[in-house]
Amino acid sequence: MSDKNRLFDAEDGRLLAEAALRSITDSTARARGDDFLRILVRDLAQALDVQYVIAGRVATLADGEGIRTLAVWGGADYLPNLEYSLRHTPCQDVTAQCMCFHGSGIQADYPQDTLLVEMQAESYIGMPMIDTEGQTLGILSAIDIKPMDEDKRLLALSLLSIFAARGAAELQHQDREQQLEATVQRRTEALLAAQATLVEQEKMVALGTLVAGVAHEVNTPIGVAVTAASTMASYADDLIKCVSGERVSRSELLNTAQRLREGAQLIERNLARAADLIGNFKQLAVDQGSAHVSEVGVREHALSVVSAHGPELRKVGISVEVDIAPELRTRLDAGRWSQVLSNLLMNAAKHAYPNGGPGQVTLAARLALEGGVRWLLLEFADDGVGLNGEVRERLFEPFFTTKRGQGGSGLGMHIVYTIVHQMGGHVAVAPAAPDSAGCRIKLRLPVRD
C-alpha cells in the first residue's frame, strides 16, 4: 500500500472514530447509572460493528471473584444480565488493569471459558473500568463472532478507553450514593430511636407529674379522714364514760351520738373522694398503657381525665368545662385517646397562661356524617394568650417549644399529632378569631362501628 493510501486510511479511521465518539457522547449525555450503561453497550456495538458489548461490575460470587453484568447487548437487542466467574476468562486479564485484545481464535486461547463457546466468539477486546483511587470496578468488553482487524482494534481501543473512564465514574457515583443512603438510613434510624426514647421519657415525666398531683390531692381527704377517725375515738371514750356512770343523761348521749355520726359522715365523704381520685388515676394509667378499642362514653371518659389532672389544673387556676352530651358513645382506643386529652390539658396548663390564671378550658365533642364517614369531632379551646404566627405554624413539630431551658421538651403536641394520625384522624389549629383570645384545636377521628 502506498504512503498516500495509508494517509487516506488513517484519516478515514480518525473521522470514523470522531463521528462514533460524538454520536455516543450525544446519546449518553443525559443518561445516568444503569441507563447510561445500557445505551453505551448498544451504541458501542453499532459503532464497532460487533455482536456483543458487555458492561459488568466486579463482584464476589459463591465460587470466587466474578463479573455481574449491568448491561449486555447481543446483536439485535439487550440480553438478560448474568454472573460468571473470572477464572480462565479474558475478563480476568482485564480486571488486572490490562487492555486485552484477541483479534481471532479467542476460544482456543481460553478453552475453559464456556461462555465464549455459547456466544460463538471469535474475537475479543476489553478495557477495565478503574475508579479515582485506582481500584478496578468493572469491565467494558466488545466480543464478535468474526475476527477483528487492526483498524477495528484501534477504533475499539479509542472508544473503550474513553467510555470505560466514564463508566467507572458512573459506578463510583453509584457506590457513593449507596454509601450516602446507608449513612442517611443509619442516622435516620438512630434519630427515630432517640425520638422514641424522648417520647417515652416525655410520657414518664407527664405520668410523674400526674402521680405527684394525685398523691398530693389524695393526701388531703385521707388526712381529714384520719383526723376525723381520731376525733371519733375520743367521742367513743366519752360515750363509754357516759354510759358507765351512775347517771346517764339522755341529752349527753344524743350529743355524743350526733358527733360520732358527723365524724363517720366526714370520713365517708373524704374516703369516697380519695377513692374517686385513685380510680380516675388508675383508669388513666391503665388506658395509657394499653391499646384496646372499646365502647367509650365520651363525656364520662373526658371527665375522668380532667379529674385525674385536677391538682395540676387547679394549681394554675384553670377550670374545665366539658360540653359533651352524656349519651354520646363511640368505639375508641381509650388508651391513646387518654394521652391526647392529657397532653392537650397539660399544654394549656404550661403555655396558655404564662402569668397564671384564672383560665377557662372547654372540651366540646359531637358526631358528624361527612362524605359517608362518621366522625367524632372534638374542639379543645382555652382563653389564654393564644398563638403567634411561628408557634401556629410549628405547633406540631417535634422538639419545638417556647419553654426551651424551662423544662419544655417540645414533644407534647407532637405526640398528640402522631397519635391522632395513627388513629386515622386529623388535628389542626383552628384559625384565630379576630375578636377572641386563646387557642382552638380541632380534632377529627373516624368512628368505628
DSSP 104-158: S-HHHHSTT-HHHHHHT--EEEEEEEE-TTS-EEEEEEEEESS---HHHHHHHHH
Tallying the residues shown for the chain, one arrives at 449
Q: Strand, helix or coil at 317?
A: coil
- Of 79, 48, 212, 4, nearest to 145 by C-alpha is 48
What type of residue sits at position 184?
A: V
**Bridge-partner residues for 365, per DSSP?**
378
* Chain CA centroid to CA 221, Å: 46
**Bridge-partner residues for 83, per DSSP?**
68
Report the C-alpha gap between 28 and 6 in whole angstroms. 33
> What was the pLDDT predicted at 202?
62
The cell 450516602 sits on which residue? 180
> What was the pLDDT predicted at 198?
67
Q: Roughly what angle, to the nearest 10 degrees, separates helices 250-288 and 334-347?
A: 100
- pLDDT, tens digit (0-9, with 9 covering 90-100), for 176-208: 888 999 888 888 888 777 767 766 666 666 556
Residue 31 gets the label, from left (phi > 0), alpha (psi -120 to 50) or beta, of: beta
Percentages (nearest 5) of helix, strand, coil residues in the chain? 55, 20, 25
Report the C-alpha gap between 193 and 275 in whole angstroms. 39
Buried residues in 379-395 as b, exposed as e (16+ CB within 10 A): ebbbbbebbeeebeeeb
Q: Strand, helix or coil at 419?
A: helix
At 290, list the grid cell: 394499653
**Bridge-partner residues for 370, per DSSP?**
373
At 35, list the grid cell: 441507563
Report the C-alpha gap between 161 and 167 in whole angstroms. 10
Report the C-alpha gap between 408 and 400 in whole angstroms. 9
> What was the pLDDT predicted at 153?
87
> What was the pLDDT predicted at 287?
47
Report the C-alpha gap between 302 and 337 in whole angstroms. 9
pLDDT < 50 positions in the chain: 1-8, 10, 286-289, 405, 407
Neighbour order of strands in the sheet with 52-61: 83-85, 64-74, 52-61, 136-144, 123-130, 100-102
> What was the pLDDT predicted at 383?
87
Q: Strand, helix or coil at 298?
A: helix
Report the C-alpha gap between 38 and 242 in whole angstroms. 111
Q: At a CB cut-off of 8 Å and minimum separation 6, what does 107 contact?
A: 113, 116, 117, 121, 122
What type of residue sits at position 367?
A: L
Pairing status of strand 329-333 against strand 293-297: antiparallel
- Rounded to a whole number, what is the distance in angstroms from the first to the last CA of the chain? 94
Torsion of the alpha carbons at 163, 166, 172 and 173, rounded to the nearest 10: -140
H or E, element range at 365: strand 359-370
Using only the alpha carbons of the chain, give its radius of gyration: 41
